[in-house]
Homo-oligomer: A and B are copies of this chain.
Amino acid sequence: MEKPRYRHIADFLISEIQKGQYGVGDLLPSEHELCRQFAVTRTTARKALEILTQSGFIERVHGLGSRVAERRKSLGLLNVKGFSEAVGAGVSTRMLIPPRLGRWVTGLPFQISAGELSSDCIHFERLRSVGEVPVMLENNWFAADQLPGFADREFVEGSFFKTLSRRYGIEILGSEQVLRALHADGKAAAMLRVSVRDPLLLIDIRFTTSRESIYIYSRLLCNTHRYPIGNSYFL
């Protein structure tokens, strides 16, 4: 039942990175250094570093060390290449409904657990644009009792995921997505500045996190006409 030592070491290093003790590009302690600090052999220290590698926290360079990596390039479809990455400079985000207590969404293609439903729900809505073109209407829901004080403070660097990581030590581990194409209704058409009945892409996402009981539910409504949604990943 005890956590293995390599897991302990990995968790420690991850929390250090999340706390900002090591910035992007910095070198983590070497394998031998970790062996000394935690009184383990290199096999064990290496296994810990391997976890960080495969989770995308570090890149290992032969002869140099373990370098803290740019965080996750493609986390499902939410990290939208072709707009927040590909387009880069011209991307902006406007908060339409700031985080606050609200009703749980209905109609998502995921089962929301009884535990979650018994908690209050925090919801917020944002509009993402490329230049002056609105391209994505984004809604997010999650259980309030797991993230105390969430609604009271600004996001870390304007990023929801950075806020989860830095403030609560929560990492996104994976996601489940359901995609549909549909006609724009009146409200969506107005928000995304398209015609009613124009085709839009609806993406429902359930993110799993490093805390077992916490899921993040997102619904993205995308105008893909000018900026299609890109997504890549590798096994």
Contact = CB atoms under 8 A, between A and B. Distances in A.
Interface stretch (A25-33, A60-68, A222-230): A222-230
Interface stretch (A113-121, A138-146, A172-180): A172-180
A81 to B, nearest CB: 9
Contacts of A76: 233
| A contacts with B: majority SS | strand
A42 B117 CA distance: 48
A233 B199 contact: no
A103 interface: no
A94 interface: no
A97 interface: no
Contacts of A21: none
B178 A82 contact: yes
Contacts of A199: 181-183, 199-200
A194 B233 CA distance: 32
Interface of A: 43, 54-56, 72, 76-77, 82, 109, 173-183, 197, 199-201, 208, 222, 224-225, 228-235
11 contacts: A54-B235, A173-B235, A174-B234, A178-B228, A179-B179, A180-B201, A180-B229, A181-B181, A181-B201, A183-B199, A208-B234
